[in-house]
């Protein structure tokens, strides 16, 4: 009977290497599973060879660059972040594997082997190596802060302490999926006016720089110095200004962008911009609803996963995405730390609508705060959907009219003198 060398993982995730006799590879795998092992490698040995020898254990946790001799990488040029959608898929797959009964280490090994993203593949290899070395999964995640934020790490830690890691990972995956869906809808709402605005700038710049100067020369030759209509004079003046000062315009534009980025990087500047974002016409209401949805979903998911309320509020504050909402959460944290209710500082902040405050109050009184927070989040997800749909339907005609007025104004300015020239020729 053939002999098969195998490498497998036991129920505790420990690696086992040995050999066994079986009729074929499928039977060998079934025999290993019958012993409660999860095979990672099963290979038939040549007749008379390998008896009594253990196959070499596979190397876990080494990146592909390390395995290739002569491989050369520049550390500071390596990409260290991944897309939120990629992390969402990884979390969902890991939750499914653990829920199906696979040990954590085996699940990481499976996902690492099939992961196409090189950054996440290296990260999973590092996580598997750390877990195999005896570290907890949450401690391993902490070493990759650019990929796994505090929300992710603390939820995993709570799942490990409660022995419900698969449940927490499923909640985390659902949280990421809903957050990704809302983020995508908000981005799509912002994308349309941005694209139309960029197209308008390009069209107007092309007309002013390349087309208007040619018409100006035609007017000069055919009108012989006669005055142009006022709108034509304005357009010609703009064309000359842009053409003669293009370098200064680019420099001033770069300075404005740099100044904006600097202001946004400061604490006071960021707070001012976030306040303006909440008060901006049309977009302010959408920003507020999106912020409330993120706050309630994050806090509800953390608390329902077993994270203490004070720690959950700190994490929620760091992931709020808006300094005004983060300041309100900080005051809520201070109030709860003093033994007070979560409702009073929410109401006093002026950030949260009365309906949200009332629902949280009911949840706190009935002892169902996490469930009520998640219900508020679902409600505001729908509100965001409606706001995005309404904003998109409103922005389309506005941007079309805006583009038509700008381009149409330039065209009219160019054709008015032509009409005068034609009338003069007829007379």
Distances (CA, A) of 214 to 6, 34, 46, 218, 352: 80, 85, 84, 6, 57
* Token digits of residue 303: 């608390």
Runs of H (alpha helix) within 133-245: 137-142, 150-162, 165-206, 212-223, 230-244
**CATH annotation of 79-148:** 1.20.81.30
Residue 320 to residue 333: CA distance in whole angstroms? 14
* Token digits of residue 415: 């054709």
CB-based contacts of 57: which residues, under 8 Å, 6+ apart? 7, 15, 17
CB-based contacts of 133: which residues, under 8 Å, 6+ apart? none
* Token digits of residue 27: 């039977």
Residue 71 to residue 63: CA distance in whole angstroms? 11
pLDDT recorded at residue 254: 94
The pLDDT profile of the chain, 427 residues, written as one tens digit per residue, is 788 888 776 665 566 788 888 888 778 877 877 787 767 677 787 655 444 444 444 444 344 443 443 444 455 445 678 888 889 889 988 988 888 888 888 889 889 888 888 999 999 999 999 888 888 898 899 999 889 988 888 888 888 877 788 888 888 888 888 888 887 877 777 787 788 888 888 888 888 888 888 888 888 778 766 788 888 889 888 888 888 888 998 899 999 999 999 988 888 888 888 888 888 887 888 888 888 988 898 888 888 888 888 888 988 888 787 888 889 999 999 988 888 888 888 888 888 889 989 998 998 888 888 899 989 988 988 888 888 888 878 887 888 888 888 888 888 888 888 887 777 777 6
Question: If you ran DSSP here, which 8-state letter would residue 399 be given?
Answer: H
pLDDT recorded at residue 255: 95
pLDDT recorded at residue 372: 92
Residue 133 to residue 60: CA distance in whole angstroms? 10
Question: What are the φ/ψ torsions at residue 329 (nearest 5 degrees)?
Answer: -65, -35
- Write down the pTM of the prediction: 0.65
Contact 155, 301 (CB under 8 A): yes
Q: Does this chain's domain 79-148 share its CATH topology with 179-427? A: yes
pLDDT recorded at residue 12: 58
Residue 125 to residue 112: CA distance in whole angstroms? 6
**CATH annotation of 179-427:** 1.20.81.30
Long-range contacts of 155-161 (CB under 8 A, 24+ apart): 155/301, 155/302, 155/305, 155/307, 158/302, 158/305, 158/306, 158/307, 159/305, 159/306, 160/136, 161/306
SS3 string of 90-150?
HHHHHHHHHHCCCCHHHHHHHHHHHCCCHHHHHHHHHHHHHHHCCCCHHHHHHCCCCCCCH
pLDDT recorded at residue 46: 67
Report the SS3 class of residue 6.
Answer: strand
- CB atoms inside a 10 Å sphere around CB 184: 13
Domain ranges, ordered by start, for the chain:
3-44, 79-148, 179-427
CB-based contacts of 188: which residues, under 8 Å, 6+ apart? 388, 392
Distances (CA, A) of 357 to 63, 293, 369: 49, 13, 12
Residue 98 to residue 92: CA distance in whole angstroms? 10
């Amino acid at each position: 009977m053939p002999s098969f060398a195998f490498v497998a993982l036991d129920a505790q995730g420990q690696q086992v290497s040995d050999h066994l006799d079986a009729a074929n590879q499928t039977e060998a795998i079934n025999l290993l599973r019958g012993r409660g092992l999860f095979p990672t490698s099963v290979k038939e040995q040549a007749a008379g060879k390998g008896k009594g020898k253990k196959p070499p254990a596979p190397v876990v946790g080494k990146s592909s660059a390390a395995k290739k001799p002569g491989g050369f990488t520049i550390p500071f040029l390596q990409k260290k972040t991944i897309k939120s959608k990629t992390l969402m898929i990884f979390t969902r797959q890991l939750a499914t594997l653990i829920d199906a009964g696979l040990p954590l280490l085996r699940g990481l090994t499976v996902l690492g082997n099939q992961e196409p993203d090189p950054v996440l593949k290296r990260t999973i290899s590092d996580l598997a190596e750390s877990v195999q070395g005896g570290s907890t999964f949450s401690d391993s995640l902490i070493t990759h802060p650019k990929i796994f934020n505090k929300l992710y790490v603390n939820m995993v830690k709570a799942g490990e302490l409660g022995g419900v890691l698969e449940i927490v990972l499923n909640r985390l995956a659902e949280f990421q999926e809903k957050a990704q869906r809302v983020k995508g809808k908000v981005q799509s709402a912002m994308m349309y006016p941005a694209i139309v605005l960029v197209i308008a700038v390009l069209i107007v710049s092309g007309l002013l720089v390349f087309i208007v100067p040619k018409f100006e020369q035609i007017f000069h030759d055919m009108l012989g110095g006669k005055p142009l209509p006022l709108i034509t004079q304005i357009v010609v003046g703009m064309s000359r200004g842009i053409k003669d000062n293009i370098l200064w315009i680019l420099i001033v534009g770069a300075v404005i962008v740099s100044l904006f980025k600097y202001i946004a990087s400061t604490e006071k500047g960021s707070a001012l911009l976030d306040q303006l974002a909440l008060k901006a016409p049309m977009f302010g209401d959408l920003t507020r609803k999106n912020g409330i949805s993120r706050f309630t979903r994050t806090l509800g998911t953390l608390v329902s996963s077993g994270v203490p309320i004070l720690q959950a509020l700190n994490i929620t504050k760091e992931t709020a995405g808006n300094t005004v909402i983060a300041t309100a959460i900080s005051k809520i944290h201070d109030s709860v730390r003093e033994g007070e209710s979560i409702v009073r500082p929410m109401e006093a902040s002026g950030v949260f609508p009365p309906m949200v405050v009332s629902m949280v109050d009911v949840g706190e009184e009935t002892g169902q705060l996490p469930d009520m927070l998640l219900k508020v989040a679902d409600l505001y997800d729908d509100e965001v959907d409606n706001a995005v749909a309404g904003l998109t339907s409103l922005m389309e005609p506005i941007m079309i009219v805006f583009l038509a007025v700008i381009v149409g104004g330039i065209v009219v300015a160019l054709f008015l003198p032509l009409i005068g020239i034609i009338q003069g020729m007829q007379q």
